[in-house]
Structures are given as structure tokens and as C-alpha cells.
A and B are shown apart, each in its own frame.
Chain A
Amino acid sequence: MNPTGRGHDWLLHGVLLAVAIAFPFVLPSPFWVNFGVLALFYAFIGQSWNIAGGFAGQLSFGHVVFFGVGCYASTILQLRFGLNPWLGLPASALAGGLMGFVVAFLSFRAGLKGSYFALITLAFAEVMRILTNSVEFTGGGLGLLIPARPAASNFQFAERIGFYFVILALTVLSIAVAVWLKRSRFGAQLAAIRENEDAARALGIDVFREKVKVLILSGALCGMGGAFFAQYFLYIDPMIAFGVDKSVEMLLVSMVGGAGTVYGPLIGAVLLAGIGDAARVLTNVQGLSLVIYGALLVVIIAFLPNGLIDLFQRLFRRRGGSRGGA
């Protein structure tokens, strides 16, 4: 938290942003741009998980519930009510935030924490999966197909690079939120809650209120991830939108990279996308990448509880730099 540390931070943010902007021009092939889109997408939804799970310590196993309502909110508004898909982005943030409020209000009012909170989020996601699977309005099990009409005004780009810059902007937004949480009073209150809820309450922090607030924030970001996903793939169904896979991936990128850190989810996401593509290209063995990731999760919880980012920071400190806020 010293001034020199902040100087390093801005340098780091700037360099990373420059690299991210240059990336699709240096490696313009569809393969690499797609890789970039997916890595940033995981970094974004991973960061949304991290804001609740890392910064506030509210571990969730069913974060996909916020992602899924975002998917369906933007897609349904677009297909059934003719809303421009760009407006689907704020609409999905609203839907995700509202879901965050409902889940948090009910669960925290009942005093659920730790493993119990993690499990109840899973059940909420399951309820939404079953509902969207059973109701005509959401397209049932067949899902919803968004007709392809490539035009930037329509949030559909003929070239993937358009999507790349949209998800880059969202990722920058999420990282800005994380930086803000590192420095703001709200973030400090969340850290206090994460470390010891009773002590935080004794300090006069309204624990319930702050926890609900952070779930709304996290849910809103995650919901926008859903809107982006729907536009990129032009198809959603209950399993894609509310299946357990994405909940696990969000948690994984964040925990592996470093929960409660600004750049942990990005590191985890680049690794997840990298391992995923490498496993697909090199071996074509189904499941290999997640085998590696599952093993990595166990090893990291056991030996490197602060995530891979801890390794980077140790190197950084050894070279004489002060510890950055990253």
C-alpha cells in the first residue's frame, strides 16, 4: 500500500493493456483471435466470481446462475421484444444484479456461509436450469438461436476481432472494479468480512448489507458475460446457460490464478484457455485439459493457497521491487 507500489501498478496495467490491444494485430489468424476472445471471456467471468468469492470470501459453486440469467435476459429481449442486442448488455447486468440480490438476500438472511452458501448457489442454478428447460417462453430444452445478421450495430461482427475488443473492454472494466476494491473502503470492509465475519461485525460493519452489495456487483458483471457469450456463439440452451461446467470454470480460473487478487483470474484464464487449446490441438483426447486443471486446483489449494500469482509476486519482490497491489 505504499506510493511506489502504486507506481508499479500503473506501469503494469499499462503494459498489459498495450499487449492486449496489440495481440490481435500481431496474431491475426482466426485461431489466435478466438483464443484471445475465450481467454478474456474466462478472465471476465472469472473476475466476476473473484469479486464475490475472492475479495469477499463468499465462495460460490453456482455462479453460473448469474451468467445464465444474463444469457437469457439479453437473448429473450432481443428475440421476443426486438431490443437491440447492445442494450442487452445493460439489461443482462440488471438481470444478473437482481439475481445476485435475490440469492444473497435469501441466503445471507438465513445466515448461510462457507460450504453451505457454496452449495445453495448450486441449487439456485439447478432451479433455473430446470425452469428454462421446462418453459416454452425460454425455448425449453431446444434453447434459443439468434439469427446471424452480421453488423456492428447489431452486436455481431463479421470478423472476430470486433468481439475481441468488446470482451477486452469488459475485462478492463472488471479489472478496474477489482482495483477499486483493493483501494476503496468498501473493498476493505469486504476483506474484513472475508477474514473474520464476527470481528468485522464488532468493528461496526453491516456484514449482511455489504455481502448483499458485493453479490449484486458480482452478479451484474457475470450477467454481462452471459450477454456477450450469447452474441458470440448465437445460441444458448439451459445446459450451456445454467450447467455446472461454467460455475466450475469461473471458480477454477480465479482460484488457480489467485483468488482475491486483481490479475489472478486473468492468469488463470490464459492458462485455462491455453491448456484447453493445447490439449485439443496436440492430443485430441477429451477431458485432458480439465484433468490437468483439476489436479492443478488440488495442488494449488494444498501448496500455493494464494494462487499462481503468488509465484510472480515472489519473483518480483526478490528483484527488489516493492509489492504491488496486483
Chain B
Amino acid sequence: MPFPDRGTRLDLTILVSAALNGLLIGGIYTLVASGLTLIYGVLHIINFAHGSMLMLAMFGVYYLLTLLRVDPYLSLLIMTPAMFALGYLLYRFLIGKLAKGKDENILLITLGLSILIENLALMFFKGDTRTISVSYSDTMVELGPHLVSLPKVISFVAAMALCAVLGLVIRHTDVGKSIRAVAKERVGARLVGIDVDRVYAISYGIGLATLGAAACLLMPIFYVSPSTGHVFVLVAFTVVVLGGMGSFLGAVVGGLIVGLTESFGGLFLGESLGQIGISLIFILILLLRPSGLFGARQ
């Protein structure tokens, strides 16, 4: 039954409401994907551990709330730097040391890392699905005639703001300039005195910091279990290839498109079949336009 019988009630309100929900979740996808695209743009590695790192950060947010009563949004101030530090150290002491040779090898190392993290999480946190509840969990706000959940709106606004901040940092600060220099021309960057390895580690750190932030914004509206990373791996890769590997603007547009696809897919095709849209976009983009919407043609 690919088309559930909803045709009669499919008026404008439902469509707009689906679009709103899609855009709101798309904002978070954008944030998750911006880290992935940054890591790719600078280091030219595909970080397959992205999903499991997000899962790890979400467990961090969960335990900060349940053990220390720290509000998830306040956790932003803890998780973002913590994930930055994790990424920086991970690159300095592991990935950077091992990341030589073929790009497949790095993909395999990040795959190994994701298996490791996911199963460590299974060992220590067990396989249960966990959600948090905060006072504003069920609060709704009115947007014209539509009711949308407050935490989703907060998440969206915060995710977009963080993406803008990230964009400004990359564009205007010294660190950002050296990141861009390394991404464009690593030999030249080294010649003008940039510590390239440090820039790599910082970029990987920033990539994971976006996950720390995304985890705080996600927890009030999502759940976490050791396999939650799987949900986001394909989504994040889809956003990134759709927008173009290494393109920030692409990540924003791609994130919103993927969010809308998911939302409308669920509306028109039902909960199960509706998920197919994201995978299909991923396949079609890779087959037809691998450089994505905003990427440079290779």
C-alpha cells in the first residue's frame, strides 16, 4: 500500500505543516552535515565515524541531564568544546598518524572507529533507546495557523545561527583563513608558515564540535541508542553530496532539501516507505551529478 488513503484531507494546511516540520529538522541536518563537509573540504577524508560521534555526544547530553541536571541547551557550552577537544586529540594521536595513503584506508579507519565507539556504547550504556523529558518538551508555539513544537523551533534557529557563526569564523578569523588556505593549497600553506597538521587537527575538532552542538539541539526532540548513528550517517552524507562536498552553502540548502524530502516522503508514502527518498536522492545525485548542487566539478 504505497499510497495510504489520505488524499481527501490533503489540504494546504497539512502540506504547509509538513513543510515546516521538514525545514525545522533540516536545520539540524545542516549543522551535522556542515561538520562533515568541513572535514572533507580541508582534510579530503570521508569521516565515516560522523554518525557514531554524534551518538556519543547525544549520550553525553543525556547523562549531563540525568546525572547532573544540566539542561540540554545549557550543555551546548560543555559539549561543543568537549567534542572539539575529542576531535583535536583524535586527529593528533590517531587519525593523523594513520591517515596516509589511499582514501579508502582512511574510510576504513573511520569505519573501524565507528564500530569501536558504537559497541563501546553498547557495552557501557546498553542497547535501550533513551529519551529525555524537559519542562518545554511538549510546548507548542503558533506560527500563523500552524502549531509547531517549541524545541524544534529553538533547535532550528540555534542550528542556523551556529552555521552562520561557523561560516563567519571560517571567513574572517585567522584560524579560518589558515583553514581555507590549507583546503585550497596545502603545500603553499605550509610554505607561508602555516602549521598544516595543526590546522588539520583543528578542522577535525571543529567538525566534531558541530556534532556536540547538534547533539544538544537534537536530544529534546529525538532519542538516542548506540545505533542512532546509523540514522544520521546516510542522512549526513546525502546532505553533503547533494550540496557538494566541501560547500557550506551546499550543506545549508542540502540539509533543508533532505529535511523536506523526509517530511513529504512520510506524508505521501507512509512512515516506512517514506524513508526511501533520502537514499534515492543520494544514489541519484552520485550517479547523475556527483559534484552536487554547489560543488566544483572535478
What DSSP secondary structure best describes chain B's contact surface? helix
A99 in the interface (beta carbon within 8 A): no
Contact at A287–B282, with CB atoms within 8 Å? no
A107 touches which of B107, B269, B287 (Cβ 8 Å): B287
Residue contact A290 to B107, C-beta cutoff 8 Å: no
Residue interface bits A111-130, CB-to-B below 8 A is 1, else 0: 11011101110111011001
User: Which residue of the partner chain B has the closest CB to A103?
Assistant: B283
**Residues of chain A from 128 to 154 with CB closer than 8 A to chain B in the complex:** 130-131, 133-134, 136, 140-141
**Residues of A with C-beta under 8 A to B115:** 248, 252, 290-291, 293-294, 297
**A59 adjacent to chain B (CB < 8 Å):** yes
Closest approach, in angstroms, between the C-beta of B24 and any C-beta of chain A? 23
Instruction: Give the complex CA separation of A127 and B265 in angstroms.
Output: 14
Residues of B within 8 Å of A122, CB to CB, are: 234
| B77 on the A face (CB < 8 A) | no
Q: CA separation between A110 and B98, bound complex, in Å?
A: 30
Q: How far is the CA of A280 from the CA of B177 in the complex (A)?
A: 51
Chain A contact residue count (CB 8 A cutoff): 46
Please name the residue on chain A nearest to B281 by beta carbon. Answer: A123
B279 and A286 contacting across the interface, CB-CB below 8 Å:
no
Docked CA distance A288–B119 (Å): 7
Q: B288 at interface (Cβ–Cβ under 8 A)?
A: yes
Q: How far is the CA of A237 from the CA of B222 in the complex (A)?
A: 25
Q: Are B116 and A295 in contact (CB under 8 A)?
A: yes
From B104, B105, B226, B272, give the contact of A287 (CB < 8 A): B226
Tell me if A59 and B123 are in contact (CB < 8 A).
no
Contact B286 A136 (CB under 8 A): no
Complex Cα gap A320–B46 (Å): 42
User: Which of A134, A255, A298 is within 8 Å of B98, CB to CB?
Assistant: A298
- Does B230 lie at the interface of the complex (its beta carbon under 8 Å from any beta carbon of A)? yes
Known: A110-B290, A136-B1, A297-B115. A127 touches B104 (CB 8 A): no
From B2, B234, B279, B282, contact of A134 by CB (8 A):
B2
B107 in contact with A291 (CB, 8 Å): no
The contact string, 1 if C-beta is below 8 Å from chain B, for chain A 292-315, is: 011111100110010000000000
Q: Give the contact-size bracket for chain B.
A: 35 or more
B116 contacts across to A, CB distance below 8 A: 291, 294-295, 298
Tell me if A166 is interfacial: C-beta within 8 Å of chain B. Answer: no
> Which of A120, A131, A288, A296 sits near B286, CB closer than 8 Å?
A120
Contact across chains for B127 and A286 when beta carbons are under 8 A apart: yes
Among B2, B103, B109, B275, point to the contact of A298 (Cβ < 8 A).
B109
**What sequence of 0s and 1s flags, for each residue 271-294 of chain B, a beta carbon within 8 Å of any chain A beta carbon?**
011011001101100111010000
Q: How far is the CB of A296 from chain B (nearest CB, A)?
A: 8
Complex contacts, B226 vs chain A, CB 8 Å: 287
Known contacts A110-B287, A130-B279, A302-B109; is-contact A115 B46 (Cβ 8 Å): yes
A199 near B: Cβ within 8 Å?
A: no
Q: In the complex the two chains form, is B290's CB within 8 Å of A130's CB? A: no
Whether B122 contacts A286 by the Cβ 8 Å rule is yes
Contact A106 B272 (CB under 8 A): no
Q: How far is the CA of A107 from the CA of B286 in the complex (A)?
A: 8
Residues of B within 8 Å of A1, CB to CB, are: none
Of residues 57 to 116 in A, which have CB atoms within 8 Å of B's CB atoms?
59, 61, 106-107, 109-112, 114-116
Interface presence of A285 (CB below 8 A):
yes
Contact A255 B279 (CB under 8 A): no
Interface residues of A in 252-283 (CB under 8 A from B): 252, 255
> Cβ of B119 and Cβ of A59 under 8 Å apart?
no
Contacting residues, chain A, for B121 (C-beta < 8 A)? 287
Q: A110-B288, A244-B230 are in contact. Are A131 and B112 (CB under 8 A)?
A: no
Query: For residues 236 through 269 of chain B, which have their beta carbon under 8 Å from a beta carbon of chain A?
Result: 237, 269
CB-nearest residue of chain B relative to A122?
Answer: B234
Q: Which residues of A contact B126 (CB under 8 A)?
A: 286
Pick from B111, B120, B269: contact of A291, CB under 8 Å: B120
A294 engages B46 (CB within 8 Å): no
A69 to chain B, nearest CB (A): 16
Q: Could you say which of A115, A244, A288 contacts B104, with CB atoms under 8 Å apart?
A: A115
Q: Which of B109, B123, B283 lies in contact with A301, CB distance below 8 A? A: B109
Chain A residues positioned under 8 Å from B282 (CB to CB):
119-120, 123
Question: Is A131 in contact with B276, judged by CB distance below 8 angstroms?
Answer: yes
The answer to whether B237 and A119 have CB atoms under 8 Å apart is yes
In the bound complex, CA of A141 to CA of B272 (Å): 9
Contact A119 B119 (CB under 8 A): no
> Of all chain A residues, which has the CB nearest B237?
A119
Contacts of A294 in B (CB 8 A): 112-119
Is the Cβ of A134 less than 8 Å from the Cβ of B270?
yes
Contact B112–A123 (Cβ < 8 Å): no
Q: Considering the chains assembled together, what is the distance between the CA atoms of A33 and B170 in angstroms? A: 59
Taking CB atoms, residues of chain B closer than 8 Å to A140 are: 272
Minimum Cβ distance to chain A for residue B1 (Å): 7
A287 touching B123, Cβ below 8 Å:
yes
Q: How far is the CB of B217 from chain A (nearest CB, A)?
A: 25
Q: Take A61-B111, A119-B237, A287-B123 as given contacts and tell me if A302 and B98 are in contact as well, using a CB distance cutoff of 8 Å.
A: yes
Q: List 22 A-B contacts (CB under 8 A).
A: A59-B104, A107-B286, A110-B286, A119-B237, A120-B282, A124-B283, A127-B276, A127-B280, A127-B283, A130-B276, A130-B279, A287-B119, A287-B121, A290-B122, A294-B113, A294-B114, A297-B108, A297-B111, A297-B112, A298-B116, A302-B98, A302-B109
Told that A109-B287, A302-B109 touch, could you supply 19 new A-B pairs with CB distance under 8 A?
A107-B287, A110-B290, A112-B287, A112-B290, A124-B283, A134-B272, A251-B108, A252-B115, A287-B118, A287-B122, A287-B226, A291-B116, A291-B120, A294-B113, A294-B119, A295-B112, A297-B109, A298-B113, A305-B105
